[in-house]
Structure 1
Amino acid sequence: MKRGSTFSPGELFIVATPIGHLKDITFRALEVLKTVDLIACEDTRRTLKLLNHYGLKKPLISYFHPREKQKIPFLLKKLKEGQKIALVCDAGTPGLSDPGFPLIREALQAGIKITPVPGPSAITAALAASGLPTHRFLFLGFPPPKKEGT
């Protein structure tokens, strides 16, 4: 580090991704994905499909349940070194019913800047399409996955 310079910690971007159609992504999300140093993703294959669709090339690190806790030290190290990292999940916003929250919590505790990049949300899409009143609702998580043959 040069004399007189200050350490600039990295930044963790929580980037919402499409929930069904690749075009359902914000311009800001694409800008962030284009400029970060690394993308932590739930499934590298799904994220690669998104990146390829938009002609983006970035290093990916797999960050999925139940192994997310094994990746946190590496990601925190990169953030503390000043890298910018995008956290994405397979669909929607990381941290909501997916493995994103442990990394977000640890980054907050380490004093890392967290920047949400809002976008598609299955919760609000389902609520809007339900025909129910939307002024007050309670989200208790997604239903369990269907078993094969049911």
Structure 2
Amino acid sequence: MDKILGGSQEDGIGFWNIFWRPLLSKSGEKAGRLIGFSFRGTKIISFQVYYKFRIVDLDAKYLRNWDSMNKKSVIILDIDPIYLLKGRSVYDESGKKIGRVVKVDQVGYYNEFDSLFVKNRFFLPSIQISKNKISVLKKNILLNSSVK
């Protein structure tokens, strides 16, 4: 904790050196900017990411390169964060477009989700799709069953 909060380079990582640094996901997609940490005693338990006008908490174990924090480089994550699923298109098993993801139910600080909420039009109600109905999570989301 002292390494991050201390501002001098001799002590280690200064907070202002890593504040607002860009993050890249495992696949190379822009994942936001680092804006803060959460501590439990002297241990870092999570970090906050600013992405598309919202703040997301992720577990600290997902940061790949702690050693390069004091350099002027991007920070790489070990995962593809689930908040990047928002805005992706969702298709059922027959190829019919259901809509776009508008909300992701994240489980704690972990990179897991319970369900996705999908809307076809902004004035229609959203459809909740559980994790077990999803077969492919790439640039598009494919389901293994049809949704009514």
- Sort the TM-score into its range (normalised by shorter chain): under 0.3
Tell me the TM-score normalised to structure 2 length: 0.22
Larger radius of gyration: 2
Which structure has more strand as a fraction of its residues? 2
Tell me the TM-score normalised to structure 1 length: 0.22
RCO greater where, 1 or 2, for CA within 8 Å and sep 6 or more?
A: 1
